[in-house]
Amino acid sequence: MCLGIAMKVVEIYDGGLNGVVEAGGVKRHCFFHMIDDLKVGDYVIVHAGCAIEKIEEEEAQENLKLIEQCLLGEEAGGQDKT
């Protein structure tokens, strides 16, 4: 299974090919070569260190909330099946 994480673009360099993304206070290097016209503040889906899709902020927040629910189970409002 592949998992893409919604992250916010916080820095862009190398002519838009590389940068830094952030989610939940964690910052990571990211390759942007698959997406044109990114700006600081945009949201992207990141998989294996590469931004693979630009998304709207609302979709990014939903993505992060679902991941949190999966990781925390009932504590985050999800249903624990154990």
Work out the average pLDDT over 37-63: 96
Distance of alpha carbon 77 from alpha carbon 66, whole angstroms = 10
Does any domain span residue 14? Answer: yes
Domain of 30 in residue numbering reads as 5-76
32 in a structural domain: yes
CATH number for the domain spanning 34: value is 2.30.30.140
Q: What is the pTM of this model?
A: 0.82
**In-domain check, residue 54:** yes
> How far is Cα 15 from Cα 30, in angstroms, rounded to an integer?
13
Count of structural domains, the chain = 1
Residue 45: strand pairing partners? 6, 53
Per-residue model confidence (pLDDT) at position 72 = 85
* 82 compared with 6, residue with greater pLDDT: 6
Q: Is residue 82 part of a domain?
A: no
In a domain, 81, yes or no: no
Q: Quote the pLDDT of residue 59.
A: 96
Amino acid at 41: G
